[in-house]
Structure 1
Amino acid sequence: MSKTSSMGRGIMAVLAVGARHAAGHPGGTVADIAVDLGKDRSQVSRNLRTAEQEGFLTRTSRRTYALDWSILTDAQLLTERRLQSDGATALDDLAREADEACFLGVLHGDSTVTIGESVPASSNLVGSWLGRPYPAYCSDAGQAVLWEASEAEVRTVFAAVAFVRHGPNTPTDVDDFLARRQAARARGYSVVDEEAEPGLYSLAVPVRDFKGDVVAALQIVGIKERLEPRREACAAALVAQGEWLESRLGYQPRD
């Protein structure tokens, strides 16, 4: 789209208002936005009025323009729907390629909760995990859903958590968890090796939305003796499906 078209100029005006919000300002006057864009004030005024009429911006009593936050609410609802619908597609494709149980998990407090699953009969896993919480410090999705959280945020999540041992390799404390997450980041995916229970092995990647926030984790879970020897091939499939799902949620990687 050309930035010189009327639509392009309108979008640039909306983005300029958004940039002011991102910088900590409540919005901007016509003069502010004109300076930010280096454009003629009368032209910018027309573009801002049009964006207001279309519902992208709102005008305050102080004659400043601000984003109409209902747009972001609508976008968030669309993200949630796509996470369910496109997440199901990613899970089925991944389960077919890996021939293992695949799950989509989200963070809820200090636990992870499964919101989607695809479990082939050959996986030998019994029962459904849908809606069931599990401690994030040792769950299959834990490191991935906290992938981009700051160290302080991770410590806050686990502030009141006792690191009870669930498997032979369960993290012993938050520092242990952070070290494992650091290794996962360097690798490009997490490996949870008998942390949740003996004999269970899993791989996971974070899934980001249009804002760049991690909203879920895509996982492959299986018996260690079966999944570990195929780790590299399964991880490649996992990363590819994770990137596809992120693209469906509007995520655009930064260069």
Structure 2
Amino acid sequence: MSKTSSMGRGIMAVLAVGSRNAEGLSGGTVADIAADLGRDRSQVSRSLRTAEQEGFLARGDYRSYTMNWSLLTDAQLLTEQRLQTDGVTALEGLAGETNEGCFLGVMSGNSTVTIGERVPASSNMVGSWLGRPYPAYCSDAGQALLWEASDAQVRTIFSGVPFVRHGPNTPLDVEDFLSRLRGARARGYSVVDEEAEPGLYSLAVPIRDFKGDVVAALQVVGAKTRLEPRLELCATALVSWGKWLESALGHAAPQNRP
């Protein structure tokens, strides 16, 4: 898109207002934004008025333009709705390709909570995980949900959390968790091998929204004896459906699914 087009100028004006908000400023006048962009005031004024009319900006005191945060709130609510509806499609497609239990999890404090699941009868899994919290330090979803977190943020989240042994390979401490998280990032998906419980094997990928924030984890979970030999097949399906779900949330270009 050319910055000299009317649409391009409008977007640049909105981004300039957003940058001022990010710096802690309440907003900016036409003169402020024109100076920031190094552009003609009359041209910037037209762009700002159009952005206000379209609902992207609001005009406050002293003719200052600010971001219309209600628009972002509406977009966030839409993301949550799409996560529920399109999440079901992703879970059904992934379960159909892998014949394993598939889950959608979110972060809650230092735990993960399942908000969606599809469990084929062939997986031999019993019971439901919906609404149940699980320690993030020994969960494939935990690694995926902390994908973009810094080491310092991860240490803060697990500060004071005892790393109770749930399986033979449960991480020993937060540094052990961080080491496994780095390996997952390099691989492109997390692998939890008997960390959560004996005999359990699972994979997960992070799901990002339109802002690029990780909002969920898409998972494949099953018995190690059955899932580990099919790692490549299941990982390929997981990554593919993860990208599809991200595109549905506005993060990436639409994928050829389903």
Q: Which runs of structure 2 are paired with 1:113-152 in the superposition (5 Å)?
A: 113-152=113-152
Contact in 1 for aligned 2:243/2:252 (Cα 8 Å): no
**Counterpart residue identity of residue 43, structure 1:** Q
Coordinate RMSD, CA, aligned: 1.7
Say yes or no: does 1:244 pair with 2:236.
no
Deviation at 1:3, TM superposition (A): 5.0
Is residue 221 of structure 2 the alignment partner of residue 221 of structure 1? yes
CA drift of 1:151 comes to: 1.0
Q: Aligned ranges for residues 23-102 of structure 1 at < 5 Å? A: 23-102=23-102
| Equivalent residue pairs, number | 253
Greater CA deviation, 230-239 or 13-22?
Answer: 13-22
Q: Give TM-score scaled by structure 2 length.
A: 0.92
**Which deviates the most, 97-106 or 57-66?**
57-66
Alpha-carbon spacing, 1:88–1:36, altered in 2? closer, same or farther (3 Å) = same
Name the aligned partner's letter for residue 130 of structure 2.
L
Scaled by the length of structure 1, the TM-score of the pair is 0.93
For residue 133 of structure 1, what is the amino acid of its counterpart?
A: P
Identity over the aligned pairs, expressed in percent?
Answer: 77
Q: Deviations over 1:102-141 (max 9, x none)?
A: 0000000111000011111101111110100011111231
Distance 1:252 1:85 in 2: 18
C-alpha displacement at 1:187, in angstroms?
A: 0.7
5+ residue gaps, structure 1: none
> Quick one: distance in 2 between partners of 1:137 and 1:35?
48
Indicate whether 1:153 and 2:134 are aligned: no
What does the per-residue CA deviation read over 1:174-228, in whole Å, with 9 as the maximum and x for residues that have no partner?
A: 1111111011111111000001110000000101111111111000000000000
SS in structure 2 at match of 1:216: strand
Q: What is the CA distance between 1:7 and its match in structure 2?
A: 4.3
Instruction: Report the 3-state secondary structure (helix = DSSP H, G, I; strand = E; otherwise coil) of the residue aligned with 1:239.
Output: helix
Show the counterpart of 1:173: 173
Give the partner amino acid of 2:163. Answer: F
Deviation at 1:230, TM superposition (A): 0.7
Distance of 1:81 and 1:3 partners within structure 2: 33
Partner of 2:256: none
Unaligned runs of 5+ in 2: 254-258
Q: Which residue of 2 aligns with 1:104?
A: 104
Shift of 1:252: 4.0
